[in-house]
Structure 1
Amino acid sequence: MSDHDRPGPGHHHRHDSVHPDWEMLGPDLERGAELYTPLYEQAASWLREAAPGAAPGGVRRVLDIGSGPGVVSCLLARAFPDAEVVAVDATGALLERARDRAARLGLADRVHTQLAEVPDGLDALGGADLIWSSKALHHVGDQRAAVAALAGHLRPGGLLALAEGGLTPRFLPRDLGIGRPGLQSRLDAAGEEWFSEMRAALPDTVDETEDWPAFLADAGLRAPGTRSFLLDLPAPLSADARAYLVTTLSRAREMYGDRLDEDDRTALARLTDPEDAAGITRRPDAFFLSAQTVHTARA
C-alpha cells in the first residue's frame, strides 16, 4: 500500500496483521506520507524525466495502486499536470481521504478514486501511461504474479514504477543513555522476523527471492531502471516528525515487543512517554534517515 507501510523501525507504518484495519490507520498513514513528501517529490521528478515518451501523447493517465489516503496520488497529479490520476485502494475510507485531499489542493478534477483489490480486482481499471505502486505488492502472496497483473494495464511505451525495498529507517542514536546500546538494531531484527511471518501467512504466498527487476523482466517489460531516494531529517526534529516516531515506536512495542527483552521494552516505554526527558518528544538527538528504492521498466 502506498503512503507507507510496516509499522515500527522496519518499514514505515502500515500493517498490524495480515488483515489490518486500514481505516483506523488512515490518519497515521497520511501523516507518515506527508513526512516523506520530500522523498516522493524526488521520485516524481525522476519519473517525469523517465516517462515523457511513455505514450505518443505523453502521460495522460496515471494509476496509483495501493494509494492509501492519496498523498502520493496528489503529488503525481502535480508532477504530470496533463494527466488524470486514479487512486486505487481496497479501503473505501482511505479513498475518501484521497478525495478530500484532492479537493483541498484543487485537484478534484484530475484525481479520481477506484475501489479495487490488488491484484485480483484490477480488471476494470483500464490502461495507463504510468503505474505507480508503493509498498502494496508485498501484501500480496504471489508478488511476481502481481507485477505481471500491473504490467498488463500499461499502454504501449508505458512505465511501471514499484517502490519496494530500500534501507531501514534510522532515528535512534546507538547509545540512548537508557537501556543497552543498540536498541535500533534489535528493533529492526524483531521487525524483520515479524514481517517474514506476515508474508508467510498471506493467502497463496509464494516463497521466492524478492528480485523486483526480475519480476519486471518476467512480466515482459524492458529498459529496467532502479534508483533510491533519501529522506534526511537531521536533529532536532520537528514536532510532526517526533509525533510520527512516537506512533511508530508505540506500534512496534504493541506488535513485536514480546520479541524483545524486558530491558528493551522498558526503554521503548520511556522513549514513547511524552513526560520523560529521555523520550522522543523531548530528547534533542532524535533524527530521521531513510531511503526508498524505486524499480521501473516500460512496456
Structure 2
Amino acid sequence: MTPHTPPHPAAGHRDHSGHQDHSGHQDHSGKHAHPGQHDDDGLAELLELEAEILGPLLDEVVGWVAQHVGEAPRTVVDIGAGTGPGSRLLARRYPSARVVAIDRSAPRLERLRAIARTQGLADRISTVQADLDDAWPEIGPVELGWAAASLHEVAAPDRLLRDLHAGMRPGGLLAVVELDALPRFLPEDIGTGRPGLERRCHEVLARAHWNAYPDWGPHLQEAGFRIAGRRRFGVEARPAPPGTGRWAHGTLQRARPALTGHLAADDLLALEHLLAEDSAGAVLHREDLVLRAGRTVWAARRA
C-alpha cells in the first residue's frame, strides 16, 4: 500500500514498506522515522489513493484469504488499520461480522470512521486506539486477524504474535500481508539523466532497510500458529491506472530525504525534474508510467 519510510529505531532491522502509522508504532512508509510525519493529511490521502489504485489486487488477496477462513467469522480485527482500507474490504467481504480496527493514531481512526460513515459502514466497523507495542487490547475472541504492512513496524512482533494467538478462537486465521517490494512506476529511461534512475533509488532505499521484513512463517509457527498457505500477488499495468502519477509523486517526495546524499548528483537532478510540478516531464503529468506492485501473504491458523 505505500509511502515508505526508514526503519523504526526500536525495531532494528525494520522499516515500513512505506506505509502508514499502522501497527501503532510506526511512521506505512509513512511510518516512523520522520518527526511530524505522523498523522499528516498528505500521508493519509496517499494511503487512500494507493488502496484505490490497488483495489483489484487487494480484492484478490482478500479472496484468497477467505478460502482459508472456512466459516464466516464473527469478529474480524484489522491490526494497524491506518485509515481503514483493509477494514472496509473486510466489512464488505463479511457482512455479518463485527470488524474492529486497531491503530495507535487517533486522527487516522477519526478519518477511518468518517469514511466508514460516508460508505454506509459505520455500524459495521468499530475502532480501538491502542499502541500494540504496549499490549494487545481487550477486544474479545477473534476469528480473523488482518495485519497488512503493519507487523514489521511493531518493536516486538513475536510478542504480539503470541498475544494474537492467545486472543484467537481455535481454528481462527491470521493473515499477514507485506509489500513484496517497493512499487515501481518509471520507465527505464525517463528522458533526462541516465537510464535506471528508479532502480538506483530502490538500491539506496534497500540499504536504508526500507520495506525490510523477515519471512513471517517461522515467527508464526513459533507463536503457535500452523501455516495454512503463503502466496505472492502481483500487478503490472501498462498504461498505469488513473491516479498513479499522484501516487508516484507522493512516494518519491517521501523518499527524497533518504535519497539525498546517497544518489549521485545527476540522479538527484533528474529526481528534482520528476518532482517539479510545472515540468513537462514531471511524474504528475507523464503518460508513460507503469504500475508494478505486489504483496506477499501468509495465512496462519490457530489449532
Q: TM-score range by the shorter chain?
A: 0.7 to 0.9
Q: Distance in 2 between the 1:251 and 1:5 partners? A: 7
Residue 255 (structure 1) shift: 3.1
Q: Distance in 2 between the 1:135 and 1:5 partners? A: 11
CA contact (8 A) 1:10 1:192 kept: no
| TM-score, normalised relative to structure 2 | 0.86
Distance 1:79 1:228, change over 3 A: same
Letter of the structure 1 residue corresponding to residue 58 of structure 2: Y
Distance 1:162 1:5, change over 3 A: farther
Q: Distance in 2 between the 1:35 and 1:151 partners? A: 32
Letter of the structure 2 residue corresponding to residue 150 of structure 1: L
CA contact (8 A) 1:7 1:248 kept: no
What does the per-residue CA deviation read over 1:120-142, in whole Å, with 9 as the maximum and x for residues that have no partner?
Answer: 23231222100001111211223
Pair 1:14-2:12 in alignment: no
Letter of the structure 2 residue corresponding to residue 39 of structure 1: L
| Superposition RMSD in Å | 2.3
Residue 165 (structure 1) shift: 4.3
Pair 1:164-2:178 in alignment: yes
Q: Distance in 2 between the 1:46 and 1:159 partners? A: 12
What does the per-residue CA deviation read over 1:198-247, in whole Å, with 9 as the maximum and x for residues that have no partner?
Answer: 98xxxxxxxxx812011111111114311122233322542x21111111
Identify which of 256, 260, 267 aligns with 1:257.
260
Pair 1:80-2:94 in alignment: yes
Letter of the structure 1 residue corresponding to residue 252 of structure 2: L
Distance 1:189 1:266, change over 3 A: same
Distance 1:274 1:128, change over 3 A: same
Pair 1:287-2:303 in alignment: no
Pair 1:40-2:54 in alignment: no
Letter of the structure 1 residue corresponding to residue 90 of structure 2: L
> How many residues were matched structurally?
282
Segment of structure 1 superposing worse, 134-143 or 91-100 = 134-143
Letter of the structure 1 residue corresponding to residue 232 of structure 2: S
| TM-score, normalised relative to structure 1 | 0.87
Segment of structure 1 superposing worse, 136-145 or 151-160 = 136-145
Report what 2:229 is aligned to. 225
CA contact (8 A) 1:77 1:83 kept: yes
Letter of the structure 1 residue corresponding to residue 30 of structure 2: R
Q: Distance in 2 between the 1:122 and 1:166 partners? A: 27
SS at match of 1:31: helix
What does the per-residue CA deviation read over 1:227-275, in whole Å, with 9 as the maximum and x for residues that have no partner?
Answer: 122233322542x211111111111113332211111111111111222
What does the per-residue CA deviation read over 1:86-134, in whole Å, with 9 as the maximum and x for residues that have no partner?
Answer: 1100000000011111111111111110001114232312221000011
Q: Where do 5+ consecutive residues of structure 1 fail to align? A: 200-208
What does the per-residue CA deviation read over 1:70-98, in whole Å, with 9 as the maximum and x for residues that have no partner?
Answer: 11101100011110101100000000011
Query: Aligned residues: percent identity?
Result: 34
Superposition pairs for residues 30-69 of structure 1, below 5 Å? 30-53=48-71, 58-69=72-83
Letter of the structure 1 residue corresponding to residue 31 of structure 2: H
Higher helix share: 1
Q: Distance in 2 between the 1:248 and 1:99 partners? A: 25
Q: Where do 5+ consecutive residues of structure 2 fail to align? A: 7-15, 20-28
